Amino acid sequence: MANAYGIIFFFQLLSLTGASESGIVGGKVAKPHSKPYMASLQVREHHTCGGILIREDFVLTAAHCKKYGPLTVVLGAHDISKKEKSQQRIQVAKYHPHPKFITEKYDYDIMLLELKNNATLNKYVKTIGLSKKDGKIPANINCVVAGWGELESISLLKSTEETTEKMQFSAECKNKWQEYFYADRMICTRFDKKKGGVCQGDSGGPLICNSKPQGLTAFTYKSDCNDPQYPHVFTKVNFFLPWIKKVMK
């Protein structure tokens, strides 16, 4: 893995051929369709990023996912290596990356995808509500991260996986990531090496705390996304609520 723009960590990049270490590290396979708001963002049927369905016609994800090419949103999936009957494949009508998004620092790393067709809501596909306002998220609470990772035993299977990460104090995040961490619009987590956490391929996927999406996976340490010395960093969803509402009007 090469340094990205000379920065000491590797941003959430995934080759379209799929790296063997892509996806949640050390997680467990989630109960099928237990997270019906999850979206797999694909380029030429290859999973590149995660996202969440927040309205029938909008998916929320990370802005840096746009670089991979024209995205197709796949909803209602559990095993993305199969054409499940529950899946809905919807093209993106319009990309809305945040106007202040800075690629080099992955700052303001948030994007709304406006869908060409409304998703059909059912038991496999549901929206997830956002918080009503920007509030402080308590440190040390356990949050769930989810994404599509490859199972070691069956390399072709790409099922939804999940694990837990613990909310970290902003001061500790800032101390570790220094000028790359902005406490007002980013949050970070501590994680157990055994339980693992997010890695390449999980970009744009949610950090769920108290049943609400509080973060979108942004970046990890370049050499080892599973190194507990380097907290995982997420775009803070609540900070962007006014912008989200404005775009979706």
3-state helix, strand, coil in the chain (%, to 5): 10, 35, 50
- What is d(CA 65, CA 103) in angstroms, rounded to the nearest whole number? 11
- What is d(CA 137, CA 91) in angstroms, rounded to the nearest whole number? 34
Known active-site residue 20 = no
62 in Cβ contact with 110 (< 8 Å): yes
Known active-site residue 155 = no
Active-site hit among 22, 170, 203, 232: 203
Q: Give the DSSP H/E element, type plus range, for residue 41.
A: strand 38-43
- What is d(CA 14, CA 22) in angstroms, rounded to the nearest whole number? 7
Active-site hit among 64, 78, 98, 232: 64
Active-site hit among 109, 159, 170, 202: 109
Q: Cα separations (Å) of 136 from 133, 184, 236, 239?
A: 10, 10, 10, 10
Known active-site residue 46 = no
* Active centre residues (catalytic): 64, 109, 203
